[in-house]
Amino acid sequence: MSASTIRATARLARTKVTEACSQGWRHGALGPLTPMTSVASQHRTLSTSSSTKHSHHDQSKQSTEAGLDSIYTVNKDEIAKFAAMSDEWWAPQGPFKMLHLMNPPRIRYIRNRLEASRAISASSSSTDTHSRARFPLQGLRILDVGCGGGLLAEALARLGAQVTGLDASNENIQMAKIHSKKDPLLNGGSPGSLEYRHQTAEQLLEQGLQFDVVCSMEVIEHVENPAGFLKVLGQLVKPNGDLILSTMSRTPLAYFLTVFSAEHVLRMVPVGTHHWSKYITPKELEAGVRDLAGCEVLNVQGIGFNPLSGQWELNRNRTEQSMGILANIGASFAESVNYFLAAKKTSPSASASSPPS
Partner 1 sequence: MSTRLLSHTTARARITLLANAKKHHNHRLVPALSCSRFLSTHATPDSSETEPYDVVIVGGGIAGSALACALASGKATGTQKIALIEAFDLSNHINWKPRADQYSNRVSSLTPKSVAFLKRIGVWSELDSSRIAACNGMQVWDGVSGARITFDAAHSNDRSTFLQQVFADAPQSPSSEQGSDQQSPLAWMTENLHVQYGLQKQMLAHKNRGVQLDIFEKTKVQGISANVSSSSPQESSSTDISEWPVITLDNGKKLQTRLLVGADGVNSPVRSFAKIESLGWDYSQFGLVATLEVDHSTSTALDQGKGVAWQRFLPTGPIAMLPLNNGYASLVWSTTPKIAQDLKKLPAQDFCALVNAAFHASPADLEYLCRNIGPDGQPQVDFQKEIEWRASVQELESHAVARQSKDAKPPKVTAVQENTRAPFPLRMRNSNSYVEDRVVLVGDAAHTVHPLAGQGLNQGLADVECLARVIEQSLLSGSDIGNIHSLTPYSSERFLPNLAMLGTVDKLSKLYNTDFGPVVWARSLGLTAVDNMGPIKTEIMRFAMGLEDVPSSAARR
Which of residues 137 and 297 has its CB atom nearest to partner 1 in the complex?
137
The nearest distance, CB 116 to partner 1, in angstroms, is 17
Which of residues 232 and 269 has its CB atom nearest to partner 1 in the complex?
269
The nearest distance, CB 150 to partner 1, in angstroms, is 11
| Largest pairwise CA distance in the chain | 56
The nearest distance, CB 135 to partner 1, in angstroms, is 9
Which of residues 131 and 207 has its CB atom nearest to partner 1 in the complex?
131
The nearest distance, CB 100 to partner 1, in angstroms, is 5
Q: Which residues in 200-285 belong to E strands, given as ranges?
A: 211-217, 237-248
Instruction: Give the β-pairing of 311-314 and 296-306.
Output: antiparallel
Residue 224, classified by CB atoms within 10 Å of its CB into exposed (0-12), middle (13-18) or buried (19+), is buried
The nearest distance, CB 329 to partner 1, in angstroms, is 23
Instruction: Give the β-pairing of 141-145 and 162-166.
Output: parallel
**Residue 263 marked as a ligand binder:** no
**Residue 222 marked as a ligand binder:** yes
> What does the alpha-carbon distance between residue 130 and residue 166 come to, in Å, rounded to a whole number?
31
| Contact residues for 146 (Cβ-Cβ < 8 A; gap 6+) | 166, 167, 168, 216, 217, 218, 219, 222
Which of residues 306 and 322 has its CB atom nearest to partner 1 in the complex?
306
Which of residues 35 and 307 has its CB atom nearest to partner 1 in the complex?
307
Which of residues 157 and 243 has its CB atom nearest to partner 1 in the complex?
157
User: What dihedral angle (degrees, nearest 10) is formed by the CA atoms of 244, 223, 294, 194?
Assistant: -40
CA atoms within 13 A of residue 125's CA, in its CB half-sphere: 14
How would DSSP label each residue in 272-284? TS--GGG---HHH
- Cα of first residue to Cα of last residue in the chain, in angstroms, is 38
The nearest distance, CB 251 to partner 1, in angstroms, is 24
**Residue 146 marked as a ligand binder:** yes
> What does the alpha-carbon distance between residue 72 and residue 111 come to, in Å, rounded to a whole number?
31
Instruction: Give the β-pairing of 338-344 and 311-314.
Output: unpaired
Question: Do the beta carbons of residue 233 and residue 200 sit within 8 Å?
Answer: no
Give, to the nearest 10 degrees, the angle between helix 151-158 and helix 170-180.
40
> What does the alpha-carbon distance between residue 205 and residue 132 come to, in Å, rounded to a whole number?
31
> What does the alpha-carbon distance between residue 286 and residue 198 come to, in Å, rounded to a whole number?
28
**Residue 167 marked as a ligand binder:** yes
The nearest distance, CB 312 to partner 1, in angstroms, is 10
Which of residues 183 and 206 has its CB atom nearest to partner 1 in the complex?
183
Residue 71, classified by CB atoms within 10 Å of its CB into exposed (0-12), middle (13-18) or buried (19+), is buried
Which of residues 54 and 97 has its CB atom nearest to partner 1 in the complex?
97
**Residue 192 marked as a ligand binder:** no
Give the footprint of partner 1 on this chain (CB under 8 A).
Answer: 92, 97, 100-101, 103-104, 107-108, 111, 123, 128, 130-131, 133-134, 154-159, 174, 177-178, 181-184, 187, 306, 308-311, 313-314
The nearest distance, CB 213 to partner 1, in angstroms, is 14
Q: Which residues are annotated as a binding site for Mg(2+)?
A: 218, 221-222
Q: Which residues are annotated as a binding site?
A: 106, 146, 167, 217-218, 221-222
Q: Which residues are annotated as a binding site for S-adenosyl-L-methionine?
A: 106, 146, 167, 217
